[in-house]
Amino acid sequence: MNFMIYPHDTQECKLQMESLSHTTDDMIFQWDPDVPLVVDENIQLPQLALVKNYTADCTQVYSTGNFTCLEVVFVLKRRLGYYLFHTYIPTCLIVIMSWVSFWIKPEAAPARVTLGVTSLLTLSTQHAKSQAALPPVSYLKAVDGFMSVCTIFVFMALMEYCLVNIVLGDSDAPKPPAPPSALGGSSSRLSKKRSTANSIFDPPPPTAAPAPVPKESSLLLLTAPNDTGGLPGVPKPLTPAQKRLNRAINIDRFSRVFFPLLFTVLNCTYWILFAEYI
C-alpha cells in the first residue's frame, strides 16, 4: 500500500485463488464469462468506498509446472469526509485562532504569547492524532505536508509578536502630560509665602494712579502664544515611544492582511493539486 497522497489515496486489494498441488495438466480455473463476480451492494466500509472491481488470470509458472490461478482486484477509494471534519477543518480553525493576536494590543504580552503557544500545542496534538491510525512510513504524506504548513503559520504568528515586541522596545506606553495646576502648585505656594514675608517687613508703597496701558500692548497680550510654546492648532511632534508604538501597530495591520492572504493561496494550491483524487 502506498500512502504518499493519503488521505486522497486509492488502494487496490488483490485476492488470488491458486491451485496448491494440481498443475494445469490436471485442472484449469476460469471465470464465468457472463457473471464473473457478484458484489453485495449493501456492504459499506467506514473509511473506504468500493469504486470498482475486475478479474484476471494469474496462472503461475514454477519449476515443478504451471499452477492455475484466478485473481480479483478491488479498487478502494478513501472517503474524505471523515478527514475533512476531523483533520482539515479543525486545523484551519486553529491557524485562524492564532491570528487573533494581531488584533490584541502590542502591550498585552501575556495574552498574545499565551494564545500563540496554546495554538502551537493544540496543532501538535491534532497532528499526532491524525497519525495514530496509520502505520509509520519513511516518506512524507499529503496530510503531513498540510499539517506542517499550518504549524509554520502558527509559529510565524508567534514570531510576529517577537518582532512587534522588539520594535516596541522596553519602554512603557507614552503617558499623558501632567496638568499645569499640578506643575505650578508648589511654585505658586512658595511665591505666596515670599510675598507674605515681604509684606510684613517692607512698608507699603505710596499709592499712585495706575499707568494707562497702550492699545498695542493689550493686543499683544491677547494674541500671545500659550504656555506650551506652540501655535494653536499645530500638532505636537511624536515622542520616540509613540513612534515605536506606531511602527508596531503598522506591523500588526500588515500581518492582518498578509497571513490570511498567503494561507488562502496555499490552501487553494493544495486542493487544486489533489482535486483529481477527490
229: in domain: no
- Residue % of the chain over a pLDDT of 70: 77
Which grid cell sits at 112? 498574545
Domain that holds residue 71: 10-36+43-78
Asked if residue 89 and residue 72 are part of one domain, the reply reads no
Instruction: Tell me the residue type at 190.
Output: L
121: in domain: yes
The predicted pLDDT at position 111 comes to 92
5 Cβ neighbours under 8 A, 6+ residues apart: 141, 142, 274, 277
Q: 3 in helix, strand or coil?
A: coil
Asked if residue 143 and residue 73 are part of one domain, the reply reads no
pLDDT in tens, 226-236: 444 455 566 77
pLDDT in tens, 40-93: 888 888 889 999 999 999 988 888 889 999 999 999 999 998 899 999 999 999
pTM of the complete model beyond 0.95 = no
> What is the C-alpha separation between 4 and 273, in angstroms, rounded?
13
The predicted pLDDT at position 44 comes to 86
- C-alpha distances out from residue 37 to 51, 58, 253, Å: 14, 16, 63
Asked whether residue 24 carries a pLDDT value surpassing 50, the answer given is yes
Whether the CB-CB separation of 149 and 156 falls below 8 Å is answered with no
The predicted pLDDT at position 225 comes to 47
Whether the CB-CB separation of 180 and 227 falls below 8 Å is answered with yes
pLDDT, average across residues 210-221: 46
236: in domain: no
127: in domain: yes
Number of folded domains that form the chain: 2
CB under 8 A, 24+ apart: contacts of 238-246: 239/174, 241/169, 241/171, 241/172, 241/173, 241/174, 242/174, 244/167, 244/168, 244/169, 244/171, 245/106, 245/168, 245/173, 245/174
Asked if residue 261 and residue 136 are part of one domain, the reply reads yes
pLDDT, average across residues 138-146: 92
Torsion on CA atoms 243, 257, 99, 109, rounded to nearest 10 = 0
CA angle 72, 75, 79 (to 5 degrees): 150
Asked if residue 134 and residue 265 are part of one domain, the reply reads yes
- Entry field: residues in the chain: 278
Asked if residue 100 and residue 22 are part of one domain, the reply reads no
Whether the CB-CB separation of 144 and 168 falls below 8 Å is answered with no
The predicted pLDDT at position 149 comes to 95
pLDDT in tens, 147-198: 999 999 999 999 999 999 999 886 554 455 555 554 444 445 545 444 544 4
Asked if residue 91 and residue 62 are part of one domain, the reply reads no
180: in domain: no
Q: 121 in helix, strand or coil?
A: helix
Asked if residue 120 and residue 91 are part of one domain, the reply reads yes
pLDDT, average across residues 111-139: 89
191: in domain: no
Asked if residue 152 and residue 101 are part of one domain, the reply reads yes
The predicted pLDDT at position 276 comes to 86
Quickly tell me which residue has 480455473 as its cell.
29
146: in domain: yes
Asked whether residue 218 carries a pLDDT value surpassing 50, the answer given is no
The predicted pLDDT at position 255 comes to 95
Asked if residue 99 and residue 66 are part of one domain, the reply reads no
CA angle 248, 250, 251 (to 5 degrees): 65
Asked if residue 68 and residue 103 are part of one domain, the reply reads no
Q: 173 in helix, strand or coil?
A: coil
The predicted pLDDT at position 190 comes to 45
pLDDT-based confidence at residue 222 (cuts at 50, 70, 90): very low
b/e string for 50-78 if b means 16 or more Cβ within 10 A? beebeeeebeeeeeeeebbbbbbebebbb
pLDDT, average across residues 99-107: 93
